[in-house]
Chain A
Amino acid sequence: MRRHALRTLLTAVAMTLAGWSGTTGTAAAQAFDPQDPYRRVFLDMMLTFTSAAEVSDDWSEDWDSIRAARDLQEELRLCGTFYRRDLINHLLKIMGEVKEDPEVLSGIADIVRASIAFSNMNEDLGKFSLEAVSDDILARTDIQGLIDLMTRYFGLEDQYHGNLWFGEALIPRGLAPQRLSLDLYPKAEFLVGDIQKYMSFAESAFGSNFLDWPITAAMRAGRDDLAQRLQSDYDRTKPTNITKLLFLETPTAQAAHCQGLLQGVRDRLMEQENLTAKAEAETTGVRFASWTLLLCGQFADSRRSARKMGWERMSRSCGFNRETSNVTDFYNAILSGSYLATEQRKNGELLRSAFTLEEIVAEVRQVLYLDSFTGLGHINIVVDEDIELYMTHLHGMTPELRVVQGLLEEARGNTSLAVDAWRAALTEDELHERWVITLQAWVNARSSRVNLLSAEES
């Protein structure tokens, strides 16, 4: 028994040290890894720990479990974020509390297993794992907390499918944590699920401060009346809101509204003493600056802002305050870049425009790669909402945007839509010869997996 106590003490010391050093260590130095942008290895480590604990009689005496726990701590130190830290701390806490209870331990392992299956886009295996956990265990407060933190992690890491399937598995059983059922699940339905299912949450979700999605969702679902109503609510609470642009038909009215939006951005910036992009990126307001600028037709600045923010986020990908919006930043940069290319073409800089388009296409390929880690969690909103609602409404469709649209449709598996988009871009007959050749090749091959003109080719 004395030996047992000593080992517990050692374990505690090791974990404390690991946790302690996490606050002062080199987390910020951890570089962004495009091959594991969300650092999925984290989940696997959780599973290693919980599985080892599950099969041991007393995991606090089992070296495999302890080592796995320590690895998890080390990973937290390397790439800790507030939501991962919360999740792991909670996991360790309940693991310590229930170490005498094999059923609970097994339930925890199943939940982690389900999470990994979801993050690997394996819906069936994940739901199966969740079904194996009894209602009693799921209903425990500490387990509810675990699920809550896990789904929060999914939400922040763009794992919308995970939340969708957690919701689908738990809400019918009445065992979903509140945040999942009221916020994360509807959001997932909106982004990667069924927009109609989301509509039932449209008026209640997110609270009144975040009305963009309900409004656009209503528009996408064809419920213009609802959209109008929500918008008028929104206008009341926040006059300088973005979705209002969707309801303003005349360019003059749009421009006038934009003035207000941009002034809002500037005002927020002016509050900062140090007017750098870094400072800008640290304020949540600026996150929308690239979007605002894009909507308001300031494409070059919008692209700059988006790219800068993308780099900024990647550079602190493991910071405590990490946010994983770089995919959104990419998409914003691509959209604004496509209009920038249009502008350049119309200004007579035909070659520069072609180069810009080349850059954008390269970026599209990059973002599709990154987005594939979330199961293309963003592509629907970009194609169906950003392009379909905002872009065409505000700036019209251009050949360059059609090129992007085609690539995204191709990624969603709609090859014929993609080919149509490229063909439409060709018929406008304004693109640089380099792109005419490329698009013809794409159309002929019914695929963009033909590269005649890479950025490096000459």
Chain B
Amino acid sequence: MNVIFMALIAAGLLFWLAPLVRRLLDRLSGIERNQRVSVLITSLILRGVAVGLMAMLWLGLNEFRQTVPATTKARVDVLLDLSESLVHADAPDLETYLRNADRLTDQIVSDLGVPAEVNRRVFAKGSRSVGSFNAAAAAIADIGGDSTDLSAVIAETLATGAGSPAQAIVLMTDGLTTRQGARDDTQITQVLQLLAGGRVPVLVVPQPGEPGFRLAKPDDPRFIIGDDQSLSLLSQGDLEDPLIATPIDLAIKPQDEQRVAYLGALQGDKVQDLFRFTCLDGDPAGTAAIIIDERVDAVSCTPLILDQEGEGSFVQMTVKLDNNPEPVPDTRFAEPRLPDTVQSRMVPTMATPQVLWLDGGAQPIALIETIIEELNWNIERVVPSDLPRRTGIDATQPLDLFDYDLILMTDFAPGEIGDGLTQQAILGEIEDFVQRGGGLFIAGGDETFGVKGYAATPVARVLPVNVEPKGSSGDPKLLAVGVLDVSASLFYEEATMDRAVRYIVESFAPLSDGSLVRVFGFSDEVHELVPLDTFQGVEDLENQIRDSLALLAEEFERRRLIGLQPEGIDIYDALAETRRSLVMAEEAGFELPDERRVLIIADGGDADTGAYLSWKVDEDGIFQRDTAPSLAARLNSDDDFIINGIAMAYGETSLPDIYEVLNSRDPSLRQRAGIASEGFNNLFSVAEAGGGIAYLDRFQIPIGQLARRMISYKDERIDDPQFNTRHRFLYDLPAQEMGLGAINGYSILSARDEARFIMGQQDYQPEQGRPLDLALWTDWVLKREPDSSAEGFIERAAVGGRVSVLGTSLRDGGQDNALTANAIFQVALARAFAWATRTNPRDAIELSLTRDARNEVLLALEHRSIDPFAPTGFSVELYGYEEAETDLAEGSTRARGTLINQFELIGSESRWTGNLGSIRDLPEVFELVISGTGTDRQGRSRGFQKPGVVRPAYLHLATEPLALDAGANLVALQAIARASGGVVLDPANLQVPGALVQLEQSGTRDRVWDLTWALVLLILIALVADYLIREYLSEAEA
């Protein structure tokens, strides 16, 4: 190796120095050549360069390295939706859609502000890359427009973009994901999962789906999918009609002049007998012709009321615009002459609600029967004695709650439902029923909401109210002190005094066991009525009070004879006496409860005459002004007493509505109200300072409320400082003409957070939408605004929910002035029932029949059941159908035609599909019968059948039918944008955020120059130069 090296080095040296060697040899040999030194030196340099370069090559020094800034490009994938909900190959404006897409693409990419590599892709069922969208029209046929597989195209795009320095997706779609011609919302979820994390931002350009892009004939009217129609638009008269279906909205290209369209509902042969509808801007109910005014682009026909007494449960809807409005066209459209201008869809009808009435009363309640009859619902009344044979393992007629939409419970106490196990089982079923969407209405009294009522049962969990029974052992013990004004002005008013005693008794009724009770009378001195002792129950309390009052009456009579009858109540001293109860309890060895309440009942006649004594002098002789309110405040803050008061109005009855008083010409009424108000003011300041509230003796005091305040007000006050005003008695009491019966201590029904009041909900406006599911009915929330008519009152106040509770019995005899006889109340109750039925029909079948591109009729079935009904199979039967020549007699049914075809649907759970075969093989009209089988929650087999008449000629081609005209699914699109960290762009006003796509441009890279060939070239040049110099010299020598 070394020898070779040495040889090579020697060769190199020899080559380099060859001219010099030659010169030396010439010198030595004496040859004289005419060669200049400059040539020699040049030759040496050239050869040296050549040898040096060869050495560099040999040593591998043939690279040049350089550090330069790195530049990258973002990958932008533009995805354009070409599904049928957006475009149609035959649509006149398709070119515009595609051109727009290209224009938007260019604009967005340039607005992104980063160097980008743009990939265009169109998608629907499948997807394809395109160079430009303008040229993508041909792709429509290939990618399958009847579905939109957004999740697939997103997944594909993300996969191909992996590894690129940055990627963004521009998504032009309506967000209506479909699969096999039906909506498929699960795709959105998948897309969100794919995009979660925001690594690849998606810039969404919503496409609303203009008719010009996607309809071959955009001028024709077409259906718009409307929202489910709730009952909120019902007017009173609508309650006569039993069935409600999805409303039909129509989109119409604005017409130059007034035109007429025909809406058809084909079910059997008669249009007008089947349905009635009212279209905005159109005719009133009862005709199929719709007047379309100039420049109207949408007509809403709602509600559409279908009569199930017809021949089937499905109605095929058709619509057609009459292009020749003169003369006045046919009044019906049962026989369209131009089938291909007609679109159709199937609408489901709602089953007649089934009502289960659990009634604890001996006789049915007439009002309920009337309402149900007017609603034309089916009702089954079950009384407690029926239960043994309807429930339990040995039931002969088992009661399945899920056969019903609404359960009414009236005066149906838990005690009526058998022993503990059966009771818990049934109540648990009711809870389950409500949890799964069933409606519940409970009206009852003490037994329902009281001690042995529904508190602590499963039912209580679904009620919109807090059921706090009196005397339940869980309640805290209280020290309750009742202060009864026994001054002459009240004591000698027998009716007033009686009412006052009842107020005390009923307010104290909910006291828990072990509570301490004291009631004393007060005028200017104390009269112990019920000495401080543990609570022995309401009856005992009332007896003690009444006995003591009888004794007091004798004493007062004696005093009256010497002119010393009791005078006005001295509230200050009464409060001081109240405080002494604590000493008394201590003295008697009672354990002092932490919760302490005072209820002062006084009249306004001469309240606080002893106010002259509301000052004291302390032991140092210092004068101190003191007032009853400040003493009350100390009682509240130092001793934890909460002071409530009731200001009595003397007279036979409590005061009527304040407006009635103001408008009354009866001076004695006004006088009563005035005197009582004065006392009320006095009492109110004391009660408010004492942390409580005062009520005026007006109508029937919401004693349940008061009673509840007596037991649990303190915490509530802490939770909600506004509690006082909300329950201020003056504002929320029912008018007396409502005839509300006396309310007992049971109605301790406060609304839960979610609950609203059905009636008297303040400030409710219909545009706030459907009221909440839970609603509270108590008999004190009825309210009449002074400025609203009876109808207006209903309109504004009739707010209901799925679960309603009425805190009073409906068994009030129905006399003229009774609650149940009140028209307003009746309508409100009917509405409560209506709302209490399920929002979705039970076992609803939404059926869509579509004609696909091969002209085969496809059937898709959406089974919606809120019951725990599990379908195991659906079968379809097709029968021949003939128009009846004469009207059928009442009650008779048409005989079914011959069986044409029969097959099973394919699918599972809620979605089932089938193929009826080519439209050419189907008769012009046939009857479709769908039978479903499945099991209910008890595992019992259940089934149902729904028929409908179909005219396949009216079926339009398979498209994305259910998504048409719904517009872009903005909610989904926004979710996609949000999840991916992108934005939703407005196509009309593109505002692309600049910093959306970030490219890392701050990095550097090495640039390497390969110098091998350059060196070789230089060697050659050097050699050639050397050669040329020699040749030159040779010539010169020559």
CB within 8 Å of B: which residues of A?
31-32, 34-35, 265-266, 269, 272, 275-277, 279-280, 286, 289, 301, 304-305, 307-308, 311, 314-315, 351, 355, 362, 365-366, 368-369, 448-451, 455-456, 458
Asked whether A275 and B619 contact (CB < 8 A) given A32-B612, A456-B576, the answer is no
* Of listed A311, A351, A366, residue having the most chain B CB within 10 A: A311
Digitize B575-605: 1 where CB-to-A-CB distance is under 8 Å, 0 elsewhere: 0110110111011000000000000000000
Question: Which 9 A-B residue pairings sit nearest by Cβ, starting from the closest?
Answer: A280-B563, A451-B619, A365-B617, A458-B582, A314-B612, A369-B617, A449-B619, A304-B564, A34-B615
User: Chain A residues with Cβ under 8 A from B565's Cβ?
Assistant: 276-277
Question: Does B728 sit at the interface, judged by CB under 8 A?
Answer: no
Question: Does B524 sit at the interface, judged by CB under 8 A?
Answer: yes
A379 CA to B555 CA, complexed, in Å: 34
Q: Are A362 and B616 in contact (CB under 8 A)?
A: yes
A347 to nearest B CB, angstroms? Answer: 13
A265 CA to B564 CA, complexed, in Å: 13
* Of listed B580, B586, B610, B639, residue having the most chain A CB within 10 A: B580
Question: Does B567 sit at the interface, judged by CB under 8 A?
Answer: yes
Asked whether A355 and B580 contact (CB < 8 A) given A32-B612, A275-B561, A279-B563, the answer is yes
**Cβ-defined partner of B583 (8 Å) among A265, A275, A369, A458:** A458
Q: Are A315 and B609 in contact (CB under 8 A)?
A: yes
Q: Are A456 and B563 in contact (CB under 8 A)?
A: no
**Cβ-defined partner of A456 (8 Å) among B579, B613, B619:** B579
User: Chain B residues with Cβ under 8 A from A455's Cβ?
Assistant: 576, 579
User: Chain B residues with Cβ under 8 A from A311's Cβ?
Assistant: 524, 567, 609-610, 612-613
User: Chain B residues with Cβ under 8 A from A279's Cβ?
Assistant: 563
Q: Are A448 and B619 in contact (CB under 8 A)?
A: yes
Question: Does B1035 sit at the interface, judged by CB under 8 A?
Answer: no
A286 CA to B617 CA, complexed, in Å: 28
Query: Please, could you name 8 A-B residue pairs with CB atoms under 8 Å apart, sorted by A?
Result: A265-B562, A301-B562, A314-B612, A315-B609, A362-B616, A369-B621, A449-B619, A458-B582
Q: Are B619 and A365 in contact (CB under 8 A)?
A: yes
**Cβ-defined partner of A286 (8 Å) among B563, B587, B609, B612:** B563
Question: Does B525 sit at the interface, judged by CB under 8 A?
Answer: yes
A266 CA to B561 CA, complexed, in Å: 8
Asked whether A308 and B524 contact (CB < 8 A) given A277-B564, A368-B617, A451-B618, the answer is yes
**Cβ-defined partner of A368 (8 Å) among B564, B577, B621:** B621
List B residues 613-640 near A (Cβ within 8 Å): 613, 615-621, 623, 631, 634, 639
Question: Does B217 sit at the interface, judged by CB under 8 A?
Answer: no
Q: Are B564 and A308 in contact (CB under 8 A)?
A: yes
Question: Does B559 sit at the interface, judged by CB under 8 A?
Answer: yes
Q: Are B612 and A315 in contact (CB under 8 A)?
A: yes
A365 CA to B624 CA, complexed, in Å: 11
Q: How large is the interface on B (under 10, 10 to 19, 20 to 34, 35 or more residues)?
A: 20 to 34
List B residues 147-168 near A (Cβ within 8 Å): none
Q: Are A456 and B634 in contact (CB under 8 A)?
A: yes
A450 CA to B620 CA, complexed, in Å: 8
Q: Are B621 and A365 in contact (CB under 8 A)?
A: yes
Q: Are B617 and A275 in contact (CB under 8 A)?
A: no
Question: Does B894 sit at the interface, judged by CB under 8 A?
Answer: no
User: Chain A residues with Cβ under 8 A from B631's Cβ?
Assistant: 456
Known: A35-B623, A355-B577; 8 extra A-B contacts, CB below 8 A, are: A34-B612, A277-B564, A304-B525, A365-B616, A365-B618, A369-B621, A455-B576, A455-B579
Question: Does B560 sit at the interface, judged by CB under 8 A?
Answer: yes
Give the residue name and chain of the A residue nearest to B568 (CB): A311
CB within 8 Å of A: which residues of B?
524-525, 559-565, 567, 576-577, 579-580, 582-584, 586-587, 609-610, 612-613, 615-621, 623, 631, 634, 639
B35 to nearest A CB, angstroms? Answer: 138
A275 CA to B488 CA, complexed, in Å: 12
Q: Are B584 and A277 in contact (CB under 8 A)?
A: no
User: Chain B residues with Cβ under 8 A from A272's Cβ?
Assistant: 563
**Cβ-defined partner of A269 (8 Å) among B562, B579, B619:** B562
User: Chain A residues with Cβ under 8 A from B579's Cβ?
Assistant: 455-456, 458
A32 CA to B583 CA, complexed, in Å: 33
A272 CA to B586 CA, complexed, in Å: 47
Give the residue name and chain of the B residue nearest to A433 (CB): B587
Give the residue name and chain of the A residue nearest to B588 (CB): A351
User: Chain B residues with Cβ under 8 A from A276's Cβ?
Assistant: 563, 565
Q: Are A366 and B617 in contact (CB under 8 A)?
A: yes
Q: Are B563 and A269 in contact (CB under 8 A)?
A: yes
Asked whether A34 and B623 contact (CB < 8 A) given A276-B563, A311-B610, A315-B609, the answer is yes
Give the residue name and chain of the A residue nearest to B583 (CB): A458
User: Chain A residues with Cβ under 8 A from B583's Cβ?
Assistant: 351, 458
Give the residue name and chain of the B residue nearest to A274 (CB): B563
Give the residue name and chain of the B residue nearest to A367 (CB): B617
A412 to nearest B CB, angstroms? Answer: 14
User: Chain B residues with Cβ under 8 A from A355's Cβ?
Assistant: 577, 580
Q: Are A277 and B619 in contact (CB under 8 A)?
A: no
A277 CA to B561 CA, complexed, in Å: 10
Give the residue name and chain of the B residue nearest to A450 (CB): B619
A301 CA to B525 CA, complexed, in Å: 11
Asked whether A307 and B524 contact (CB < 8 A) given A277-B563, A280-B563, A351-B587, the answer is yes
**Cβ-defined partner of A458 (8 Å) among B617, B621, B623, B639:** B639
**Cβ-defined partner of B567 (8 Å) among A277, A289, A368, A450:** A277
Give the residue name and chain of the A residue nearest to B612 (CB): A314
User: Chain B residues with Cβ under 8 A from A449's Cβ?
Assistant: 619-621
User: Chain B residues with Cβ under 8 A from A289's Cβ?
Assistant: 562-563
B41 to nearest A CB, angstroms? Answer: 128
User: Chain A residues with Cβ under 8 A from B639's Cβ?
Assistant: 458
A314 CA to B570 CA, complexed, in Å: 15
User: Chain A residues with Cβ under 8 A from B621's Cβ?
Assistant: 365, 368-369, 449
A275 CA to B492 CA, complexed, in Å: 14
User: Chain A residues with Cβ under 8 A from B576's Cβ?
Assistant: 455-456
A277 CA to B562 CA, complexed, in Å: 8
* Of listed B562, B567, B577, B583, residue having the most chain A CB within 10 A: B562
A269 CA to B610 CA, complexed, in Å: 24
A142 CA to B532 CA, complexed, in Å: 67
Q: Are B562 and A266 in contact (CB under 8 A)?
A: yes
User: Chain A residues with Cβ under 8 A from B586's Cβ?
Assistant: 458
B527 to nearest A CB, angstroms? Answer: 11
A304 CA to B620 CA, complexed, in Å: 27
Give the residue name and chain of the B residue nearest to A279 (CB): B563
B590 to nearest A CB, angstroms? Answer: 13
B486 to nearest A CB, angstroms? Answer: 13
User: Chain B residues with Cβ under 8 A from A448's Cβ?
Assistant: 619
User: Chain A residues with Cβ under 8 A from B619's Cβ?
Assistant: 365, 448-451
Give the residue name and chain of the A residue nearest to B585 (CB): A458
A48 CA to B201 CA, complexed, in Å: 92
Q: Are B620 and A369 in contact (CB under 8 A)?
A: no
User: Chain A residues with Cβ under 8 A from B620's Cβ?
Assistant: 449
Give the residue name and chain of the A residue nearest to B635 (CB): A456
Q: Are B616 and A366 in contact (CB under 8 A)?
A: yes
A407 CA to B841 CA, complexed, in Å: 86
* Of listed B576, B615, B619, B634, residue having the most chain A CB within 10 A: B619
